[in-house]
Amino acid sequence: MYNFNERNNKFQLKDLLKKYKSVITFIFTFLLVYTVLTFAYKLYLQYGSSDVYYPDYMTNLVAKQSKELLETLGYHAQVIPHPDESSMKLIINNKYVARVIEGCNSVSVIILFASFIIAFTGKFKTTFFYLLAGSVLIYVANLVRVVILSVGLYHYPWRKDVLHTVIFPAIIYGMVCLLWLFWVNRFSNPKKHE
């Protein structure tokens, strides 16, 4: 005996999949790109770090560039490898104010940003240059964030929790959201995503 409800449910599911194809494609692409980039980054952290750039190249670079920016602002700054953990100690005027860890190097935020842009892609050339420009902007904003946070911790150490866990994450992730909105409204392929 033929079940009419079963046939009707198949058509409804097919219609729903057809109707939300772009949403499903976006989610699948985002998750795939995010997973691949995150896995590649974890491999880099595990196998790509060297003794020259402790704890890894990007974290070392952010620490050293933060030191340079702090010195440009008139502070005497130092970065030295942390003896007990894989991080760099950031010292301002002989006062240990912060540690630069892997999470401070902005790579994870750039991976999140790139995954969204690729999942909501536009023309190849536009996508490529927006990814490049957005990644550089996120990296620079992160450097400025580390410097301002360090100066804030130097002058107002009792504000550590608010500065580190609320204000500065809100700034960096807020900027990423603005970059996403700008991308969707200006450059992504609207016909593809309707």
Residue 22: give the domain boundaries: 7-50+103-193
Confidence label for 181 from pLDDT (cuts 50, 70 and 90) = very high
Please check whether residue 66 lies inside any domain of the structure: no
Please check whether residue 61 lies inside any domain of the structure: no
The number of distinct structural domains making up the chain is 1
pLDDT digits (tens, 9 = 90+) for 34-70: 999 999 999 988 887 666 788 889 999 999 999 999 9
Give the pLDDT score at 190: 53
DSSP for 50-114, written as a single string: -SSSSS-HHHHHHHHHHHHHHHHTT--EEEEE-SSSSSEEEEETTEEEEEE-GGGSSHHHHHHHH
Beta bridge partner(s), residue 95: 92
Q: How far apart are CA 171 and CA 144, in angstroms?
A: 11
- List, in order, residues 6 or more apart from 192 with CB less than 8 Å away: 22, 121
Please check whether residue 116 lies inside any domain of the structure: yes
pLDDT at 71 over 90: yes
Q: What is the mean pLDDT of the chain?
A: 87
Question: pTM of the prediction?
Answer: 0.85
